[in-house]
Amino acid sequence: MKSIFLFLISFFCFLTISFAQLSIIGKVTDSETGDPIPFASVILKGSTLGTTTDFEGNYVLNSTTKADSIQVSYLGYVSQTKKIPTTPSPVINFQLIPSTFNLSEFVFESGENPAFAIIRKAVASKEKFDKRNLTAYESDNYTKIELDLDEVEGAFKERNQVKKVIAVMDSIKQLTNDEGKKILPMFFSETYSKFYFRTDPILKKEIIENSRLTGVGITDGTTVSQITGSAFQEYNFYRNWLTIVEKEFVSPITDGWKTFYDYDLMDSLMVGEDYCYMLKVYPLREQDLAFTGTIWIKKENYALKQIDLTIPKSANLNFIERIKIQQELVETEAGPLLPSKTRVLIKISKITENTVGLLAKFYNSQENFKINNPLPTSFYFQSIELKEDFDQGTEEFWQKVRPEPLSDQEIVSRQMVDTLSRIPIIRFYSEGIKFLGTGFLPVGKVDFGPWTGLFNYNDIEGLRLGGGLRTNLKFSNKYVFTGYLAYGFADQQVKYFISGTKILDRKRWTTIQINTQKEIDQVGLEIENLQLNSIFLAASRFGTLNKPYYSKYFRLITQREVFRGLNFTAGFTRKEFDPLFEFNYFNENTGVYQNRFDLAQINIGVRYGKDEIQIINDNYRVSLGPVKWPVFDFRFTQGLNNLGGDINYQKYTLSVYQKLNLGLIGVSRYELKSGFVRGTVPYPLLENHIGNETIFYTTVAFNLMNFNEFASDRFASLSYRHSFEGFGLNQIPLIKKLKWRAVANANVLWGSVSDKNLSNSSDLDGSGNPIPAFGRLDASTPYIELGYGIENIFKFFRVDAFHRITYLDNPGANSFGVKISAQIIL
């Protein structure tokens, strides 16, 4: 009986304690995007008991205090309170509505802001905690990306085709933002990879082990999988400047922090096992490319603990309404910090009321860190690589590697994307957009295009019609065949291009190609030199052509990436030059004048970009550009007076390109180019400096130089462009609202030509008399043009004014000119 009595007493006490202790769990999310809100404050109303949400927005609150409601608050969101149900272990979720943060809420007293002392110590300890001080690290990474059409409302929603799509979506489940506006998911991916970083030299490598993705218009996962990994989701706030959407943003703990930011000490609290200072940060000038939000700094050593920062709509950016970055950092045994979880949201606003916006959501988790064990430099040869047995993985695999299960909204989003990609009208529009963007329309194993070659009109060909095709990855991953046919109704000539390529090695990108072509080209405006500037190339090939000639050639080319960043090309070219204008050239070998010539050439090229990122796009390799270091490009041509060639000569060219991030004052880009020609050659083989007689601004030409105004056999040039990214104009009230940005240009050319090459070739006038074919640069007087202008006019347009400083006495020279261009920039 005594034992039973003690048991009953114990059981009664247990029940009393159980009923007295309240355990509440839940999740806090952004009502607009559905994303978790980490670090939010959760408290019981009328008490001091509370907690914060973890990185996934989850919270657990245990209390013996009697309370009837629970409140969640976080800076940048409207606080929300909910009643606590009487059920045991209630689950209470919150969806917070974003709000505008009002800086006037804070009033600073006289004396130094107490937050400054904390920031000063955090900046002083930067070197200790910067991950770049590790000799190396590696990790297992999980990356998740979702792209949604946002605010599918208004006139856009009422379009017949959109109604059909929404009807299909409503049969699954509606997704809406906080205002009840529909969201249509368009892309969803999960990627699991191994990431490697080495400091000396700085090298990165990511091996994509598995990637599962679905998206509207996505036909092949191997290409997209290379850019959905973690290599493009790296944010290190211990750097002074962070590159986000191709813009440079200043870190809240930059060395010159007091120049860019103000701070407020909001609280001191426990975050996990660490006691932290909670600081509000915001830019001194609202249009600066800077952050606003909250950072947590550990009291023990002034290391960053976690980050929740936003780039507001007021920043001088186009189309972007908000960028939000949340990050959680962990300390390694060596001291430096590594990000364990990062979440990024980019909200792109509607261009007009009749269009839609875009939500881009990125999540990256890193775990199983291994530090200070650098692998051989040869291991980092290819910066992004697909594992040999790469596949999409099973559902069991993804459940195992996900840090957190997919939310209900993410599951619905993935289902919607899969359904959308099968709707005929969606496939029609997505393929149409790809056709406009790439120029090619995929149909089975071939791609038809490019559309830019379908139609043209000029004084030689009259109306020109054409079309072409190329094989794709479905045809083969080793062989690529491409070609086109075109016909000019005025010259009644067929033009063509036929090419066959074999990919010998996809890892050390090695190819061999044979091609042949017959085409109309222009002296100084060759297609080969203008392919990267399609608008200027198209403008220069309409209307009256400049010194046109028929070019017929056969070419053999091979290339190989020798080691990371170093690419070698070699080849042989047999070319015929048949001018369509009166041309005169003295052939030293035959001792007679002739109006055409043939070339046999050996071509060698070396390109080196230390940190240039390359990805494989189906059967083509694409450069995503350098990160920091310059790119060097060397070209050598040896002309032969045998094997069908008429001219023995050598041509050497070296160019250097670099992008310079100059912080507060913007971004500069420069290109240095130098070269010389050895031997006596007709002037089409000299360096015919590219002029620009169109109204369009271009970076590949001297914008106030006329076509064929100068040619050189020795030359050096500098092209310098600077964008101030709003610097300066941000201080002018009216322009500040317009978000105009100042730009500056400088183009300088030194050159000379030998007497032999000057007199060797010429054009002929109507009577057959020789006339100079080009102007001669004085080696002591460079050609100089300086420009300035405004970009971001109505978000799309740019206007540049140029002043020509030298050679103003040349026939047709203009001392001043205005050029326009259209561009899509953030």
Helix (H) or strand (E) holding 430: helix 424-438
* Confidence band of 600 (pLDDT split at 50, 70, 90): very high
Q: Is 246 left (phi over 0), alpha (psi -120 to 50) or beta?
A: left
Final residue in a domain of this structure, among 96, 122, 137: 96
| Mean pLDDT of all residues belonging to the chain | 82
Structure tokens at 479: 């062989």
Q: Which of 259-268, 402-411, 445-454, 777-786 has the highest mean pLDDT?
A: 777-786
Structure tokens at 586: 């003295």
Residue 765 within a domain: yes
Helix (H) or strand (E) holding 222: helix 221-225
Q: Which of 84-88, 106-110, 729-733 comes out lowest in average pLDDT?
A: 106-110
Structure tokens at 667: 């971004």
Residue 639 within a domain: no
Directed axis angle between helix 160-170 and helix 408-420, to 10°?
Answer: 130
CB atoms within 10 A of CB 14: 10
Q: How far apart are the first and last CA of the chain?
A: 81
Which distant-in-sequence residues (6+ apart) come within 8 Å of 720 by Cβ?
Answer: 668, 669, 670, 745, 746, 747
- Report whether pLDDT(650) > 50: yes
pLDDT in tens, 144-165: 888 877 765 555 555 655 565 5
pLDDT in tens, 377-402: 888 877 888 777 667 778 888 888 88
Which distant-in-sequence residues (6+ apart) come within 8 Å of 583 by Cβ?
Answer: 549, 595, 596, 682, 761, 763, 764
> Closest Cα partner for 743 from 725, 763, 755?
725
Residue 66, pLDDT score: 72
> Under a CB-based contact definition with an 8 Å cutoff, are residues 465 and 494 in contact?
no
pLDDT in tens, 430-488: 666 667 667 788 888 898 888 777 888 999 999 999 999 999 888 998 999 999 999 99
Residue 717 within a domain: yes
Q: How many CA atoms lie within 13 A of 325 on its CB side?
A: 24
Q: Which of 73-87, 403-417, 657-671 comes out lowest in average pLDDT?
A: 403-417
Give the global pTM: 0.73
* Confidence band of 560 (pLDDT split at 50, 70, 90): very high
| Cα–Cα distance measured from residue 470 to residue 181, given in angstroms and rounded to the nearest whole number | 42
Residue 315 within a domain: no
Residue 25 within a domain: yes
Residue 640 within a domain: no
User: What average pLDDT does the segment 97-121 reach?
Assistant: 68
Cis amide prior to 312 (ω within 30 degrees): no
> Kindly report the CA angle at 434 between 447 and 623, in degrees rounded to 5?
85
Final residue in a domain of this structure, among 96, 114, 138: 96
* Confidence band of 9 (pLDDT split at 50, 70, 90): very low
Task: Collapse the DSSP code of 575 into the 3-class scheme (helix H, G, I; strand E, B; otherwise coil) and give the result.
Answer: strand
Final residue in a domain of this structure, among 64, 96, 128: 96
User: What average pLDDT does the segment 767-779 reach?
Assistant: 77
Residue 503 within a domain: no
| Cα–Cα distance measured from residue 395 to residue 187, given in angstroms and rounded to the nearest whole number | 18
> Closest Cα partner for 692 from 680, 710, 704, 681?
704
User: What average pLDDT does the segment 592-600 reach?
Assistant: 87
Instruction: Report the number of distinct structural domains present in the chain.
Output: 2
| Cα–Cα distance measured from residue 713 to residue 687, given in angstroms and rounded to the nearest whole number | 6
Residue 105, pLDDT score: 44
Structure tokens at 628: 């920091």
Q: Which residues does residue 8 pair with via DSSP β-bridges, in sequence order?
A: none
Residue 736, pLDDT score: 74
Which CATH number covers residue 84? Answer: 2.60.40.1120
Residue 167, pLDDT score: 60
Residue 429, pLDDT score: 61
- Concatenate the DSSP letters of all residues of 620-671 into one string: EEEE---SSS-EEEEEEEEEESSTT----EEEEEEEEEEEEE-GGG-EEEEE
| Cα–Cα distance measured from residue 577 to residue 69, given in angstroms and rounded to the nearest whole number | 86
Decide which of 354 and 137 is more confident. Answer: 137
Structure tokens at 42: 């959760």
Residue 813 within a domain: yes
**Residue 71 lies in domain:** 15-96
| Cα–Cα distance measured from residue 59 to residue 38, given in angstroms and rounded to the nearest whole number | 9
